[in-house]
Structure 1
């Protein structure tokens, strides 16, 4: 399998699907995280991503191990307001895209270059513009 090249330094953001695939040992997600770390990139998730990615069949021990190796970014009032502004600016609705907006807002504040593993390329492209490189998982 060919590896996707990631930039030196910067940040790798995992959205819900990126985190889920990493927790489930999905080969491409594990390889991308390993390559990011090798290149000095910090791996981050939004605190809300933990909620979105957890379900009854989640391997709790594996999730705890994965979370111990990533930076978890919390959301406060200012971040919530900025995520709401992203929704307003893109015409997306909070009912369906609230957590995506939080993840996008968080990604936009990270050290560049920023790469995001996501399954939602369309909405994330609207929310992040060209400031975040999106990689489909």
Structure 2
């Protein structure tokens, strides 16, 4: 599973060439590209940008924030010492990736919170690591 955060989803919606290439490569390696319902809220816009986001959203699976994902996100925040006020959506995105049964990557430009969250998610997970894909 390749989980797109706000920045990765926005870049893809804008037809960013590098983001498209990353997604294509991930799909060639068997990754399914998804996003979290929390990311949909975070990227909400009106006008033409909003129309483009809604169209691109129709091409992805959107994973709901279940109580299991929320509980894992909370555990990630506590374990990393990050603030839920500042990092709740990041934790939800990483928890969504960690809930996958196989290999998981989080596509994000956030080099401060996401790597920490991925590291802890990997420690808490039975299975392959949750990797950070910098965009």
Give TM-score scaled by structure 2 length: 0.84
Q: What's 1:134 paired with?
A: 132
Alpha-carbon offset, residue 124 of structure 1: 1.0
SS in 1 for 2:62: strand
- CA offsets per residue over residues 24-69 of structure 1, 9 Å max, x none? 1111111111222233320111001011112346623322221122
Q: 2:79 aligns with which of 89, 102, 112?
A: 89
Mark the runs of 5 or more structure 1 residues left unpaired by the alignment: 1-10
Q: Which residue among 94, 104, 110 is the counterpart of 2:100?
A: 110
**Which residue number corresponds to residue 46 of structure 1?**
36
SS, match of residue 112 in structure 2: helix
The CA RMSD measured in Å over matched residues stands at 1.7
Question: Which aligned runs of 4 or more in structure 1 are off by greater than 4 angstroms?
Answer: none
Would you say how many aligned residue pairs link Structure 1 and Structure 2? 127
TM score, norm. by length of structure 1: 0.83
Specify every segment of 5 or more residues in structure 2 that has no aligned partner in the other structure, as ranges: 123-128
SS in structure 2 at match of 1:75? coil
* CA offset digits 1:82-131 (Å, max 9, x no partner): 21111111100101000001111111111432122101122111111052
> Equivalents in 2 of 1:105, 1:39: separation in Å?
22
- Picking from 108, 113, 124, the partner of 1:123 is 113
Secondary structure of residue in 2 paired with 1:104: helix
